[in-house]
Amino acid sequence: MSFLKLRIVVVLLCLLSLLSGCYNKPVRHLASDAALLKVGESTREDVLIYLGDPDEQQLEPDGTEKWLYTKKDMTLLERVPYAGKYFGSPEYSRLVVTLKNGIVTKCVYLRTDEDDLDWADDYSWQEKKSE
């Protein structure tokens, strides 16, 4: 009888672990969502519907608002603690939506890799000389 109980507990634990794998946080698709916005036509409400609340907001002195959306994409191997950095570098997506009087005036999408600017330190002439 105890073998049967053990077997039931193992099956329940397996099912529970499989169910927890079904949970997933919402995914942002900044590039496709940015394509839904129309400069000069889309309103603040449209931006909130398509993209949600911004990660950062900047208010310019002339009343212009900049809403910044960011997303970090990492592969499964890049998420491995301590060793993930040896399998590549994460990619960052950034969307900057500029609003004036509640209307979208500019929408810029950027996608970069964490090590895109590593070339800037490749040359010996860039080293600072200690005096």
Domains of the chain, residue spans: 27-114
Q: Which position has the token pair 């570098």? A: 89
Distance CA 45, CA 35 (A): 16
pLDDT at 121 over 70: no
Per residue, the 3-state secondary structure of 34-70, as one string, reads: HHCCCCCCCEHHHHHHHHCCCCEEEECCCCCEEEEEE
The class that CATH gives domain 27-114 is alpha beta
Of residues 1 and 27, the one with the higher pLDDT is 27
Could you tell me the pLDDT band of residue 19, with boundaries at 50, 70 and 90?
low
Of residues 71 and 97, the one with the higher pLDDT is 97
Least confident of 3-7, 33-37, 83-87: 83-87
pLDDT for the residue numbered 54: 93
* Segment 34-82, tens digit of pLDDT: 899 999 999 999 999 999 999 999 999 998 999 999 988 777 777 788 8
Of residues 10 and 117, the one with the higher pLDDT is 10
pLDDT for the residue numbered 56: 94
Query: Of 31, 36, 109, nearest to 67 (Cα)?
Result: 109
pLDDT for the residue numbered 78: 74
pLDDT for the residue numbered 6: 84
pLDDT for the residue numbered 128: 59
